[in-house]
Each structure stands twice: as C-alpha cells, then as structure tokens.
A and B are shown apart, each in its own frame.
Chain A
Amino acid sequence: MLILLLACAVPTGWTPAERATIASLSPIPAPLPSPTNRVADDPAAARLGEALFFDAGLSIDGKTACATCHVPGLHFTDGKRFPTAIGTGTRNTPSLETVAWGTWFFWDGRSDSVWAQATGPMRDAKEMGATPEHIQARLREAHATGLSEVFGGVAEDPTDAMVQAGKALEAYQRTLAPKPARFDRYAADLAAGTDSDVLTAEEKAGLRLFVGEATCVSCHHGPLFTDHSFHNLGLPSIPDGGIDPGRARGAGQVGVDALNCRSAHADRPADLAADAEPCPELRYLDASFPDWAAAFKTPSLRNVAETAPYMHDGQFGSLAAVLAFYDTLPGRPLVGHRELTLEPLALSGAEIEALEAFLRTLTSEAPAAPASP
C-alpha cells in the first residue's frame, strides 16, 4: 500500500499523444543540406565566414559588421526593437542559430538560401551599405588567403565575389546551432521512460499547455520549434509601423531574386539526377497564397527567453507581453486576416506563468565572441 501511495504522489503522467508530441520536439537534428552552396559544410569556408562576419571593413562606413546587429552573446540578436547600423531598420533582428534548417530567409522569406540572404544586409543602405565592388575590394584587401583556400581566389566579377562572401558566411552560420537546452535533457529522459525532475512541476505544466490546450505547437513544432512558414497574427497596430505586406511581397520577390536557387550563382549538387528538380521549394511555391497578407515567418523558440524584443517589428518587450497578446488577441489586423487557428487562450495567470516558465527551459548557453574579432 505504501508503494501504491508513493507511486500516485507525483501524477505527472503524460498521455501517449503528449509523449509523441514532446518526442517530436527534441533532440536538435543535424543541419539540413544546403544544396546550392558547395562549401556550406567546408570548415575552411566556415573559418573564412567567421572572419567576414566580424569584419566591419565590408561595410561602406567601415564601422558596421554582421556582428554589429547579430551579437553572439545575445544569441545573434541585438536586444533592440529595430537594428541600428548605418541607418535604422524596420524589422527586428532575428537570431541566426537555426538558419541551417530553414527554407526561406528574412522575416518575409524573400531569399531561398542563407548565402543569398547574407548578401542582402551587406548591400542594404540602412545596414552595411556596400556595393559588390566594395565587397570585392575588401575581400582582396583583407581575406585573399581565405578566398584562395576556399574558392581558389577572389572572383573577377564583383557580384560573383559578393556571392563567395555570402557562401562563406553561410558556412559559418551553419556552425551556430543552438546547444541542447534543459528541455532536451527532460525530453531524453522521457523518451527513455523516466519522467524526471529536470523540469519543475510548473515547467511541466507549461509544457502540457504548449503541446495541448494552448496549441502553441501548431506553428512552433519540431525540434526547432517552428513550421518554417508564415502567419498573420493580427498584431496590434503601432503608430509608426505603417503597413508591411510581409510574406505577400516576399513570396513574389524570391521568385525573381537574381540570387535565387534558379540563378547561375547557385551551385548544383554533383549527385543531382539529370531529371531531378533542383529547386522544388521555389517551383511549387504559391506566391499568391491568400493567407500571406501581412504574414511573417514563424521564429524558432530556441533561446527565445534571451532574444527579446519579439515579433517581426519588435513590438513586445517581454515574453509576458507576447503571452498576454495570445491570451486575449486584441484588435484586428490592418491587412488580411488573423490566422484562423488563433483563438484567445483565456488562461489563468498561473497558466501564463507556467507557459513562460516552460519557454525558459529552451535556453542554452550563448556562444562566446571570438577572441580577436
């Protein structure tokens, strides 16, 4: 009888469905291939990319590097609502830790590879403001050895040289995967049959809400906690925000992007069959999908507690503010309609706190900045 009482004293049991969902959230898998970048997993390219990432000489003002806004100690975000570089941006700086699993890049998905995306901020007048010619000159001046090792030299064409930089930057970014978090240790224990105390009762309550009643997992699913898709949340309008079409514009832009998968700058895997489609995501993309009006990419929740502020426009300064929004879903979207799956959570204060407590279990150690950036 004593055993019976002890066995029932901790009623933390999960249903088979809950266990299956929790198992689907961990562990973090190996990065997906990057078929249009033949140096994506070349260690020498990653070293070159790291040097480029911290090189302010690539910017037109000589003061701005990728790392200016993607700060390693902040999980490659900047802690600001909008990035401030040469100018001030209009969208929040996303983390880079999960790019190796992505399909579309930028908040609106207007790039279909990390290397193509990386050339965007280098050329954006508000960010690094460089031209391909400036980038090419900087590569020759400061990175010739690395370029020689990885690509056999700096390309003669300025755009080709810029693409070399982008591909090396991708190789580096693919090494930034988040480390396992406390949640992963709990999920591993659970998969092995032990409902361990790696998570507290409150955190487990938050996890139960996350995979259940709160339906967070509808969009934040898989080990990266994202569906890699785009949704209109019907965020509150903001005085200085204007109207941002989001994915509705980005889906059209990626199809005509001069650096997309179909461009001559994209590498082709040597083992790609002659009749295989090299760009399936681009080929089958529905650029006019109606629900993409003012929709933005679902961010990963890995290290979410360390990457405030939140949403594509950084309008929420804390996780509590984000959860308060989902709890009541105030207002109506200025463009399009709110994702129909969203309904006010109407949770208790304790439940909201439990959800936040669970989200904090997704935090892992932040990478250190290089010794000599």
Chain B
Amino acid sequence: MTLLLALLACQGAPPAATSVVQVAPLPGVDPAPTALKLYTVTWKTDPRPLPLSTLFEIEATLTDAKGAPVEDAKVRIDARMPQHGHGMATRPEDDEGVCDAAGACTHPGGVYRTRGMKFHMPGEWSLRFDVDGPAGTDHLLVPVQL
C-alpha cells in the first residue's frame, strides 16, 4: 500500500511537457469519406509504421457512395505541413494504373498508388487526396501527427 501511495503521489511530479515532438508510428486509418461524401478512401502506407525521413508509398482504395470500387478516377495524393508553409521535398508519382493501347487507364479494384513521398520533419502534416471520378471532384484531408 505504501508503494502504491508513493506511485500515486508521484504521478503529478513530472513536469508537463510542452511542444514535445513525438516520433510515433502512423496509426491505421479507417475508411474515410471525402469532403462531399462522393467517395470513400481507405489508405495505408508502405512501409508501415511510417519512419521519418524515408521514402514511402501510399496505397489508396477508392469506393463510391454504395461501396463499389471506383476504377476509372484520377487520384492525386500530396502532403503539406500547414504550419510551416511547405510541402514535401520530393515529387511523388501517381501510378497510372493499367492502360490500354488508346491510353485509357483503369485501376483494378479501385486501388491507386503514389510513390516517392517523404515526411522529412516531425510535426503536423496534412495528407490530401484529390479525386476526379465519375461522381465528380472531391477531396479528403487527413491530419497526420508525426
């Protein structure tokens, strides 16, 4: 009991940390609706957990309001640090999907990939998915705290 009291008494002893920069794994993300709810985006990173200052790619699965895969949209993925006024120091490339001889491209299963992303600093990033698809244009913003 004495030890328990000691521990309880000391819980308030550590000073409150301000502006602590936490290098934490990127949490998993549940399916998220775009701003106008035209689509739903489910995404994950490779590698995962996401290390700082390392190239990574994002795989995003796009579905429509009924839950069906959207295979013929254009999805652009980017990220910025809103409080710092800059984006990434890389130029990510969106996978064009499977294209036919005429240049028409589809993304089987509604899966879209973007490679060459890098979060070079800890802090608050804003991940942005811009979708241009059959239901119209829409976007999703996801705050990411690293």
Contact A280 B55 (CB under 8 A): yes
**A20 contact from B19, B23, B118, B123, Cβ within 8 A:** B23
A14 to chain B, nearest CB (A): 6
Given contacts A218-B121, A229-B53, contact A213 B19 (CB under 8 A): yes
Contact B89 A229 (CB under 8 A): yes
A1 / chain B contacts, CB cutoff of 8 Å: 2
Contact A8 B20 (CB under 8 A): no
Q: Is B52 positioned at the interface, with any CB of A under 8 Å from its CB?
A: yes
B7 / chain A contacts, CB cutoff of 8 Å: 7
A280 / chain B contacts, CB cutoff of 8 Å: 55, 115-116
Q: Is A227 positioned at the interface, with any CB of B under 8 Å from its CB?
A: yes
Q: Is B132 positioned at the interface, with any CB of A under 8 Å from its CB?
A: no
**Chain A residue, CB-CB nearest to B16:** A15
Q: Is B3 positioned at the interface, with any CB of A under 8 Å from its CB?
A: yes
Q: Is B104 positioned at the interface, with any CB of A under 8 Å from its CB?
A: no
A208 / chain B contacts, CB cutoff of 8 Å: 15, 17
**Chain B residue, CB-CB nearest to A25:** B23
B83 / chain A contacts, CB cutoff of 8 Å: 340
Q: Is A81 positioned at the interface, with any CB of B under 8 Å from its CB?
A: no
Q: Is A368 positioned at the interface, with any CB of B under 8 Å from its CB?
A: no
Residues from 1 to 35 in A contacting B, C-beta threshold 8 Å: 1, 3-4, 7-8, 11-15, 17-18, 20-21, 24
A–B Cβ pairs within 8 angstroms, 20 of them: A4-B2, A11-B14, A15-B14, A15-B17, A18-B17, A18-B20, A21-B22, A21-B23, A212-B18, A212-B20, A218-B122, A221-B23, A221-B52, A222-B53, A284-B55, A284-B93, A286-B88, A291-B86, A292-B89, A340-B85
Interface residues of B (CB under 8 A from A): 2-3, 5-7, 9-10, 13-24, 52-53, 55, 83-86, 88-93, 115-116, 118, 120-123
